[in-house]
Amino acid sequence: MFRALLITLTISVLILLGVLVYGAMKPIVISSGDLGQSISMQNPGPLAIALVNNKVCFLYIYDVSFSSMPGGLQQPYQSLSDLYYQEIRDRRLTFNIYGSAVGNLTNSSVAIRILEVNTVAALELQRIIKEELDRSNLSKYHPIVTDEGFTRIVGYAEQKSLHIYNKCNVIELPWSRMVVKISFPNGTTRNFIFIEPLFICNATSIPQQGNTHVVELCFDKDLKITPIISGNLTSIGEVVEKAINASHFNDYSTLKTVDLYLRNPIMNIILRYSYLLMLKPRLEHILRALAFLTIFTGFTVIHYRFRPYEYTFIARFARRLRQRIYRR
């Protein structure tokens, strides 16, 4: 009777341990999918602008909150039962960045990098930006820094980045038409008709909870954009130069016009979230099953030492099994 109890308990715990270990190695997927609606973030404007070599670069910093997304990402490990817990894996955050310009947009004429940093690094990055703005003193109205200052800012972000996503696909979309009414200091107003193609640049990150994303957007300096003063196409590099000169000479008419482009070269950022929701056994239950298996196996060995004749059927079974294996 005692022998049968020991063998039954040992086999039962062994099966339970196998199930738990298998579940830990291959968690059970109970839900997977994509967030039902995109999250639209109106762009707050660049924190730094610079002419870097043959590029005009804009720098943005923004946080992404996961509290409203499925799965409770503020608490990624939730208790589901006494044996299993719920875990979210393979989180993906896809950035679809929409922008506008006139000219032939290609992968070489525009580039976007997304750098993921923690909150402490983001605060320090904002301090460095303010320091470089005070040092550069290029514009009183726009966050324009020198190329050395911009390189220092981006270099710090690269140094502290947890992830860097620089593979960005540029997709041209249909042309759009927009009318903007601009008032001039002499009291006159003028309607500017913007007819421009849209582009979308998308990249995917694997976000960590509470981290901040830094976006670096660079255009070719000679990329032509919508007219700002004359009827001719103006390059984006000329826009920055006009902003610097207008700030020095207090040319408010030009400042109002260039402000449209320096505040919002990115029209919108659409974030889309995907995830896998899994069940995974708790580690303490695996350790308990392993401890019980050790105890029951030990008692079985001790019982065998004192009463080996009760286990002769095991020896016969093992002998017959070996014979069948050898015959095959």
In DSSP notation, 35-75 reads -SS-EEE-----SEEEEETTEEEEEEEEE---TTSTT-TTS
pLDDT tens digit string along 52-86? 988 999 898 876 555 444 444 444 444 445 666 66
Of the pLDDT bands very low, low, confident and very high (cuts 50, 70, 90), residue 179 is low
Dist. CA 328–CA 326, nearest whole Å: 5
Mean pLDDT of 270-274: 65
What is the structure's pLDDT at 80? 47
Residue 193 bridge partners (DSSP):
179
Confidence of residue 100 (pLDDT cuts 50, 70, 90): low
pLDDT at residue 97, rounded to an integer = 66
pLDDT band of residue 317 (cuts 50, 70, 90) is low
Mark residue 117 as left, alpha or beta (left: phi above 0; alpha: psi -120 to 50; beta: remaining): beta
For residue 254, give Cα distances in angstroms to 68, 160, 234: 42, 38, 13
How far is Cα 269 from Cα 95, in angstroms, rounded to an integer? 7
pLDDT of residue 194: 52
Chain mean pLDDT for the chain: 71
pLDDT interval class at 36 (50, 70, 90)? very low
Question: Does pLDDT of 149 surpass 90?
Answer: yes
Smallest CA-to-CA distance from 216 within 72, 95, 38, 86 is with 95
Report, as an integer, the average pLDDT of 198-203.
62
Dihedral angle sign, alpha carbons of residues 241, 243, 245, 248:
negative
- Maximum C-alpha span of the chain: 112
What tokens were used for 59?
A: 């720098």
What number is the average pLDDT over the span 165-189?
Answer: 61
As separate numbers, helices (DSSP H) first and strands (DSSP E) second, the chain gives 7, 14
170 by DSSP, 3-state: which?
A: strand
CB distance 158 to 64 below 8 Å: no
Angstrom distance (rounded) from CA 165 to CA 181: 38
Q: Which whole number is the average pLDDT over 223-232? A: 58
